[in-house]
């Protein structure tokens, strides 16, 4: 191909790839498949390799590149990147608004107020020269920030070139323009990352905010590129930008940036409070963390006239929602033994109110985290709801120590069975290696009887523990030998309850192969992997005789999972458990496969279905070749709405223009 043709083709490919990026990330309206995007990017990369003179540092192919840095250089902000003063109630908001109005020049009308959700991430400034990304800075001390350009370039929602669609004045591209915003990680992405780490035996990340901030500040851009970072813009600054904040948002979107589409204007404090009150409840349904509302005088020239007080602008405040973090005292540190043998420390706290609930315990993750945060028994600590769900300790407050505190040391022996604990190489988790540990046995049987496995109604955590404590069972296979007479002797069991429980156990003897595999509790085997293994091997006999090479051929089964299966099967006690289950009348039936009717389709179920459980619905989808997922994305094909659906999933479905169907329509698809 002649050079001029190659150059024209490369320019067209870059423009088309940027248009696809804009439609996917900004408009939430992708009009081609991911495969098309990948194919175009591959073609462009091959062109640039064939014709090195065509290489461009702002090409879509160059998002990840360069060597790790030794440290981040610092740069001075073109204008201070200040923090906001906080207000916590209507009275404080009214006092701020009154001060603003008092300072207005004579004859000026009261300003309007711009409101946007205050995202909990890392404030970042992007500087573009003549339409191309030049560098990116953290807030730093407000006057100087760290240059994190190499990492920001890896974020898909950051355009390397400003979008040109004919609606923006040419002058905007003819000089320097600064885009300020927040780098965040969505809750759904965070939960998926932690689920993957859990399957690999790795400790969970603490919270989306810390992970986003830490990822942006990785010295190796390849590490930043591996994290699902997103950038939301909230300021556009330059000589030719609009004179009001609301229009800046419109300009940012036209230039190719994601903005929060829930931002609004209000004429007075009443309108601001209406917005504040609405999102105080609804923010929990959003896919990103929100800790307040940013209230800003909309007119830029008025804000400039108002100036700065201390290190904060007078023309904006952050209305902070009730604290998601509180201080408590650690009464004790104990450990919990899980079904895989993981020994996890947790703090027993002086009870406190946090995000509307009473919290008495918080996870400490692992021994390394305790040492890193310098946590001791008796410490005052800052507690937060990680992702608004799991209580965790953010930091200790060592300056408040009075000498009564005691360092914590992980036990050398399992607190349940006294077996010496060990820490596998390359893991942060300490484990009990004893497969017969009472705590591990208890958790394994809980997994066995759960809805996603044998689904034995009436066998909860308390009853399983009682059966173990009374020596009525030693493993899951013993459940199938229980009699009504045995259960009637237990506290809380009358004749009817005992009979119903035994009937439920006997009714579960015939179970699909995928649920049987899941119930075996093989490390790294979740529902999806169990289903793929059942579909690939068809019978329990074939699965138990599979070689490692055969396992690796199964879709989604790699080295780690296949090795885990082989290790589990090589254990004679595990083989004895399968034989005992079969001897007690348990059979693993081929996982029902009713064709590929839903092949390639992805479903999200929200709310309660009237005629089947969520697990049954997800199984029906898998059996027909479809994929059930827990979160809505641009790759979702259908959102199935039952009774009391989650508003966040419905909102995301509307944002992505995804088809919503009711229960009857879902059954029709099946």
Q: What does the DSSP assignment read for 116-136?
A: EEEE-SEEEEEEEETTEEEEE
425 — phi, psi (to 5°)? -60, 140
| Nearest-5° Cα angle at 177, 176 to 182 | 145
Contact 617, 605 (CB under 8 A): yes
- The reported pLDDT for the residue numbered 36 is 64
**What does the pLDDT average to over 233-247?**
93
pLDDT at 63: 59
pLDDT tens-digit profile of 49-96? 788 888 777 777 765 555 555 678 889 998 888 888 888 889 999 999
Highest mean pLDDT among 73-87, 191-205, 268-282: 268-282
Q: Can you give the three-state secondary structure of 38-68, one letter per residue?
A: HHHHHHHHHHHHHCHHHCCCCCHHHCCCCCC
Strand 406-407, strand 376-377: pairing: antiparallel
Q: Quick one: which of 620, 649, 616, 644 has its CA closest to 633? A: 649
Instruction: Identify which of 604, 655, 662 has the alpha carbon closest to the alpha carbon of residue 630.
Output: 604
Percent of the chain at pLDDT above 90? 46
Cβ neighbours for 230, distance < 8 A, ≥ 6 positions apart: 25, 155, 156, 157, 183, 184, 185, 186, 258
CB within 8 A of 555, min separation 6: which ones? 532, 536
Who has greater pLDDT, 353 or 238? 238
Spatial separation of the C-alpha atoms in residues 48 and 373, rounded to whole Å? 47
Q: Minimum mean pLDDT among 28-37, 116-125, 490-499, 602-611: which range?
A: 28-37
Catalytic residues, by residue number, are 118
Angle at CA of residue 204, ends 201 and 208, nearest 5°: 150
* pLDDT score of 32 more than 70: no
CATH 2.40.50.140 fits 325-407, yes or no: yes
* Max Cα–Cα distance, the chain, nearest Å: 92
Structure tokens at 420: 């010496």
177 vs 238: CA distance, rounded Å? 5
β pairing state of 342-354 and 325-337:
antiparallel
Q: Bigger pLDDT: 41 or 34?
A: 41
CATH 3.90.420.10 fits 3-62, yes or no: no
**CA-to-CA separations, 437 to 131, 432, 444, 523, in angstroms, rounded:** 63, 8, 10, 16
> In the prediction, which pLDDT does 140 show?
83
What pLDDT digit, counting tens, does each position of 485-509 carry?
999 988 878 888 899 999 999 999 9
Residue 441 pLDDT: 94
CA dihedral (255, 260, 262, 265) in degrees, to 10, reads -60
H-helix or E-strand spanning residue 390 = strand 390-396
What pLDDT sits at residue 24? Answer: 59
CA 241/CA 24 separation, integer angstroms: 25
Q: Collapse the DSSP code of 625 into the 3-class scheme (helix H, G, I; strand E, B; otherwise coil) and give the result.
A: coil
Q: How confident is the model at residue 280 (pLDDT cuts 50, 70, 90)?
A: confident
Read off the pLDDT band of 348 (50, 70, 90): very high
Q: Is the pLDDT of residue 108 over 80?
A: no
Are 454 and 517 a contacting pair, CB within 8 Å? no
Q: What are the distances in angstroms from CA 92 to CA 88, 317, 321?
A: 7, 10, 13
Sign of the C-alpha dihedral computed for residues 465, 467, 471 and 475 taken in this order: negative
Mean pLDDT over residues 572-587, rounded?
95
pLDDT tier, 518 (very low <50, low <70, confident <90, very high otherwise):
very high
Question: Out of 92-101, 184-193, 317-326, which region has the weakest mean confidence (pLDDT)?
Answer: 317-326
Where are the extended beta strands (E) located within 147-220?
Answer: 176-184
CATH 3.30.470.30 in the chain is located at: 85-320
The answer to whether the CB of 201 falls within 8 A of the CB of 429 is: yes
Quick: pLDDT tens for 423-471: 988 788 899 999 889 999 999 999 999 888 998 988 888 899 999 999 9
pLDDT score of 235 more than 90: yes
CA atoms of 41 and 59, how far apart (whole Å):
10
User: What's the CA gap between 183 and 279, in Å, rounded?
Assistant: 21
Tell me the average pLDDT of the chain.
87
Delimit the CATH 1.10.150.20 region(s) of the chain. Answer: 438-589
Which residues contact residue 350 at a Cβ distance below 8 angstroms, ignoring those fewer than 6 apart? 328, 329, 331
Collapsed DSSP state (helix, strand, coil) of residue 292: strand
> What is the reported pLDDT for 213?
86
pLDDT at residue number 388: 47
CATH 3.40.50.10190 in the chain, residues?
602-669
Residue pair 405/379 in contact (Cβ under 8 Å)? The answer is yes
For residue range 371-408, list pLDDT tens digits in order: 999 999 999 999 987 544 568 898 899 999 999 999 99
Q: How far apart are CA 155 and CA 216, in angstroms?
A: 10
Give yes or no for residue 179 having a pLDDT over 50: yes
pLDDT at position 662? 83
CA separation for the pair 651, 666 (Å, rounded): 20
CATH topology of domain 438-589: DNA polymerase; domain 1 (1.10.150)
**Mean pLDDT of all residues in 202-215:** 81
SS3 helix, strand, coil % of the chain, rounded to 5?
40, 25, 40
Report pLDDT for 387: 43
Question: Which CATH architecture is the domain 602-669 placed in?
Answer: 3-Layer(aba) Sandwich (3.40)
What fold is seen in the domain 85-320? D-amino Acid Aminotransferase; Chain A, domain 1 (3.30.470)
The burial of 113, by beta-carbon neighbours within 10 Å (0-12 exposed, 13-18 middle, 19 or more buried), is given as buried
According to the per-residue pLDDT averaged within each range, which of 99-108, 125-134, 529-538 is highest? 125-134
């Amino acid at each position: 191909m002649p050079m001029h043709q190659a150059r024209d083709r490369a320019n067209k490919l870059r423009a088309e790839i940027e248009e696809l990026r804009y439609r996917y990330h900004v408009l939430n309206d992708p009009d081609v498949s991911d495969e098309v995007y990948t194919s175009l990017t591959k073609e462009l990369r091959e062109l640039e390799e064939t014709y090195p003179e065509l290489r461009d540092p702002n090409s879509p192919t160059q998002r990840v590149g360069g060597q790790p840095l030794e440290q981040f250089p610092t740069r001075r902000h073109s204008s201070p990147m200040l923090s906001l003063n906080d207000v916590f109630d209507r009275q404080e908001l009214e006092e701020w608004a009154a001060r603003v109005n008092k300072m207005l020049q004579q004859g000026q009308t009261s300003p309007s107020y711009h409101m946007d959700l205050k995202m909990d991430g890392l404030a970042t400034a992007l500087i573009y020269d003549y339409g191309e990304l030049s560098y990116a800075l953290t807030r730093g001390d407000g006057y100087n920030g760290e240059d994190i350009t190499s990492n920001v370039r890896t974020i898909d929602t950051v355009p390397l070139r400003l979008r040109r669609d004919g609606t923006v004045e040419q002058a905007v591209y003819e000089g320097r323009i600064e885009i300020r915003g927040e780098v965040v990680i969505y809750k759904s992405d965070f939960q998926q990352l932690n689920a993957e780490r859990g399957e690999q035996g790795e400790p969970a990340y603490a919270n989306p905010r810390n992970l986003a901030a830490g990822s942006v500040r990785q010295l190796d851009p390849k590490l930043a590129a591996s994290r699902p970072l997103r950038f939301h813009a909230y300021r556009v600054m330059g000589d030719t930008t609009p004179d009001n904040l609301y229009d800046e948002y419109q300009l940012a979107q036209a230039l190719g940036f994601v903005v929060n589409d829930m931002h609004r204007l209000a004429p007075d404090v009443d309108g601001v409070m209406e917005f504040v009150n609405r999102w105080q409840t609804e923010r929990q349904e959003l896919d990103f963390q929100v800790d307040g509302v940013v209230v800003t005088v909309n007119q830029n020239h008025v804000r400039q006239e108002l100036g700065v007080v201390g290190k904060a602008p007078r023309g904006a405040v952050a209305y902070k929602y009730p604290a998601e973090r509180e201080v408590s005292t650690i009464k004790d540190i104990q450990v919990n033994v899980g079904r895989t043998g993981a020994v996890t420390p947790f703090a027993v706290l002086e009870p406190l109110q946090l995000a509307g609930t009473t919290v008495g315990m918080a996870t400490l993750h692992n021994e390394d985290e305790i040492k890193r945060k310098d946590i001791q028994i008796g410490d005052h600590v800052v507690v937060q709801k990680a992702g608004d769900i799991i209580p965790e300790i953010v930091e200790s407050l060592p300056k408040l120590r009075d000498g009564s505190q005691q360092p914590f040391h992980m036990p050398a022996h399992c607190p349940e069975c006294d077996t010496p604990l060990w820490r596998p190489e390359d893991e942060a988790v300490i484990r009990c290696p004893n497969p017969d540990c009472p705590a591990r046995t208890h958790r394994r049987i809980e997994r066995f009887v759960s809805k996603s496995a044998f689904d034995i109604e009436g066998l909860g955590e308390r009853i399983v523990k009682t059966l173990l404590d009374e020596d009525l069972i030693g493993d899951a296979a013993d459940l199938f030998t229980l009699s009504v007479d045995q259960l009637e002797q237990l506290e809380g069991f009358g004749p009817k309850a005992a009979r119903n429980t035994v009937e439920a156990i006997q009714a579960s003897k015939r179970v699909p192969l995928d649920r049987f595999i899941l119930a075996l509790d093989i490390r790294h085997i979740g529902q999806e992997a169990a289903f793929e293994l059942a579909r690939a091997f068809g019978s329990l006999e074939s699965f138990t005789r599979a070689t490692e090479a055969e396992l690796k051929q199964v879709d989604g089964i790699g080295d780690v999972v296949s090795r885990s299966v082989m290790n589990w099967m090589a254990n004679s006690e595990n083989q004895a458990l399968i034989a005992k289950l079969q001897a007690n009348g348990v059979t693993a039936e081929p996982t029902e496969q009713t064709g590929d009717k839903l092949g390639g389709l992805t479903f999200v179920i929200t709310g309660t279905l009237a005629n089947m459980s969520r697990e049954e619905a997800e199984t029906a989808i898998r059996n027909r070749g479809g994929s059930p997922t827990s979160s809505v994305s641009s790759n979702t094909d259908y959102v199935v709405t039952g009774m009391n659906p989650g508003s966040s999933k419905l909102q995301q479905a509307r944002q992505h223009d995804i088809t919503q169907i009711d229960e009857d329509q879902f059954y029709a698809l099946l």
